[in-house]
Chain A
Amino acid sequence: MSGTAELRDIIITRTYDAPRAEVWKAWTEPARIAAWWGKRGWRTPVESVTLDVRPGGVFRLNSIADADGSEMPVDTIYHEVVPPERLSFGGQPGGRRATVTFRDLGGGRTEMTFTSSIHADAELHARALGGLTSAFDRLAEQLPRPRPEGTFR
């Protein structure tokens, strides 16, 4: 039933025109994650960001809506940290988790896959997908631009 709150999967795959180390940094450095986290129309103050990137470390930040100041925090701990391949984080043990993996496609390109699940009806699930997609668009925009081939450094 589409109106029922049930555990629904969230799986989003994106390819970025940037080396894997850069995409990893975008997730694991406070100033970098603050630049893209949150859907469009939201901002994440860098002061709100704590990234203690190791298993059991805190992954915390707070996004604020430009429109009305409402807040959407992340308040989790890292479960897995395998640089520059894999991060997983979530709430309490046994609770909901999210995993993000980074695959080196060669040629300075990276495939990122975000996997999670939420208890939600169809509408909330769609909202989560939309928000994440918007944030991952913003991530692409703040990655360093690839150098055109043949240019000097």
Chain B
Amino acid sequence: MYAAEAVILTIITASTPLLLAAIGELVTERAGVLNLGVEGMMIMGAVCGFIAAFLSGSAMFGVLAGLSAGVAMSMIFAFLTQTLMTSQMATGLALTLFGLGLSGLIGESFTGQPGVKLAALAMPSLSTIPFLGPVLFGHDILVYLSLGLTAAVAYVLFRTRLGLIIIAVGGNHHSAHALGYNVIRVRYACIAFGGACSGLAGTYLSLAYTSQWIENMSAGRGWIALALVVFATWMPKRVLIGAYLFGTVWIMGLYVQGLGVPIPSQLLSSLPYLVTIAALIIISGNRMITKVNTPACIGQPFSPER
């Protein structure tokens, strides 16, 4: 197989979970809610997806289970922050902790077992085209879903009434409420969407990236996804760029090592994080961009009579 083809395929695999989680969180944040529990939702998606697929033999069943787990986790967050108006920051962190702990607990006996692999979509004639075939057509459904969701979110947010409502709720929840929109309900829905996407991202890790379950296998990807949303100034297409940029830097680090170049592996491993910081500085430093796109009400609880 061509080296370039292999590299591109690996980059796609590395970037997909980031993209899935980030696009979900983007919608949540656009509605004015900061959910720091992405890592917790993702890991629960991974373990539930793995267990469901392992026990049933069906990867698709696993995908559904992972998605549901993400939604369920996000509902804990939603209830606490929207109905009980707890601090979003603290609740999100608690959700991450809870998710990491619970997943370790229930996944204990499934550690390291060979699992079910999410198969590539069968597109026989198309995927045999040299180079373009495997790169464009040889992926599993979650890869295409990640790209499709990004496009769908971009469309819905900026070209439909639903999208305008979401942005309004995130931009000025008092005005939105005055206009008669049910702020809490919109936020619940967006949080659920974010949970579903994080759950899918986790499922991708345990069914496609590798077909195993290991404790902590999300390895900080939830936090990277959060960074990507800020990096993308809450614009879906930029999330796509960010996720793939991070994935590329990550894979190139390994690639460079394989070439025998004598750069310390730790430096190469730290590049993705340094690049993210650099990107954050550049984006945030430009106050115009951030001012225009930051959901103004992010992180603030909404209460009708306030």
**Do chains A and B interact in one complex?**
no
